[in-house]
Amino acid sequence: MTDAPSIRKGLSRVVIQVSLAWSVAVFGVVWFTVHHKLDEVLDGTLQESAEILYGLLKPNAERLPIGSGGSLPAPPHHERMVWQLVSGDQRVVWRSHSAPAQPLATAHRERWSADSPDWHVYGIPFDDQGTMLYVAQPHGERSQAQFEAALLTAGGALAVGLACAVWLRRRAGRELGPLMDLSQQVAHYHPLEPGSSPPLATREELRPVRDAIVHLGDRLAQNITSERAFSANAAHALRTPLAGLGAQLAMLQRESPANVQPRIQRAREASDRLSRVVTALLSLFRSGGEIRPRHITLAAFVQDLPLPGLAIGVTGDAEVEADPDLLAAALLNLLDNSVRYGATQAQVSFRHDAAAVVIRLVDNGPGVDEAARKRIGAALATQHYEQDMGLGLMLADRVARAHGGQLVLVPVEQGFGVELSLGWRQR
């Protein structure tokens, strides 16, 4: 059986996916906005720088060494923007410290010039002789600024998305807490027990689930109660006629000819077997799953079980707290199975296993093959009694489980072997 999908893990995956998608979407929108706004800011900075330089240089043009082709005196430093004064014949007549010695634009053009592979250039006329004032910024500087803005935007969006994912995951876990509480309450809810409280729904969405579970439990309890009452009444109704039938068969056997008596004996054995089944059903449904334990010495208890036609050998001994009626019904049905399938001897032994006492029964009958043993063992383990399961094995397993144990088929060299564990052993 494969594991069922987890709601918590599913919600976590959805939250993470939504957060990542949201982060990517926010990054795309913010980056698109920042990219265009950054271009506008940088272009505005170049334009304003050009206007400021024009305002500084133009009034002082006669006193400045314009036309020398040199640069503005300044200590070595990194310039994020450079400027040039370029004459009409494309000579750089003056420039900033880091500006190139060649014109930033190959042709005089006001405002923006797109013919420079390395520079983003803005130009304005400087005088009437065709001199241009160019202010430029390296494309690399602009790309770096855009990359840093994109990196910060992506990092911020991702951090916010992850923080939201963690918060939503924890929130989802807390919101799933009532569902886990409800499942634990359902696990401890026993509709047949008078003191068992129905589960509580602490969330509005869980109320239909809680109501459905309670209604299902009520219907199951009603069905089980009705089945127990019917089975107990049917078994009780059969008990008296079977007792009378056994007495009449005994009298008939004594009065019949010798050649007819073996047939009557087989009828008596069948009647006795049916009586034991009825007794077992009465004991099982009388208990209703409630155990009335008493101290039992198992060796003497087994030797006192009345079962004609089967020699029972007992090895060892053990003491246990168990319901004697239920335990007798279980063992009688197991031993009766041995007789039905042709066994003449059965060996019973006992051992302590952890907190349980294990009763091992091995007969000398034909047994079953390995495939059938595994199939019946799997049916017992899962309590699917309708699958290739006799009444004797089912009753014995029900009694063992009522005592905190179970019935297990064990491999043996010859015959049929079972182990019935009782979890309430005497310490």
Tens-digit pLDDT profile for residues 377-406: 888 888 777 666 677 888 888 888 888 899
- Position 230 pLDDT exceeds 50: yes
C-alpha span between 226 and 229 (Å, rounded): 5
How does pLDDT run across 337-358, given as a tens digit for each residue?
888 888 999 999 999 887 789 9
**Is 419 a residue whose pLDDT tops 90?**
yes
Distance between start and end Cα atoms, the chain: 38
* Whole-prediction pTM: 0.47
Express each pLDDT in 33-72 by its tens digit: 766 777 777 778 888 888 888 888 888 877 777 777 777 7
Reported as a single tens digit per residue, the pLDDT across 110-146 is: 677 656 777 888 888 888 888 888 888 887 777 777 7
Q: Which domains can be identified in the chain, with CATH numbers?
A: 7-156 (no CATH), 193-285 (1.10.287.130), 291-422 (3.30.565.10)
Longest dimension (CA), the chain: 156
User: Which residues, in sequence order, are CB contacts of 137 under 8 Å at separation 6+?
Assistant: 42, 45, 46, 80, 81, 82, 119, 120
Average pLDDT, the chain: 78
Total residue length of the chain: 427
Cα–Cα distance for residue pair 379/387, rounded to 1 Å: 6
Check whether 221 has a pLDDT greater than 70.
yes
**What is the predicted pLDDT for the residue at 420?**
93
Rounded distance between C-alpha atoms, residue 417 and residue 414, angstroms: 9
Q: Which of 6-10, 23-27, 419-423 has the lowest mean pLDDT?
A: 6-10
* R_g of the chain computed on alpha carbons: 48
Give per-residue pLDDT as tens, 191-203: 777 667 777 777 7
Percent of the chain at pLDDT > 70 equals 82
Can you tell me which residue has the tokens 């940088």?
42
Taking each helix axis from N to C end, the angle separating 261-287 and 324-340, rounded to the nearest 10 degrees, works out to: 150
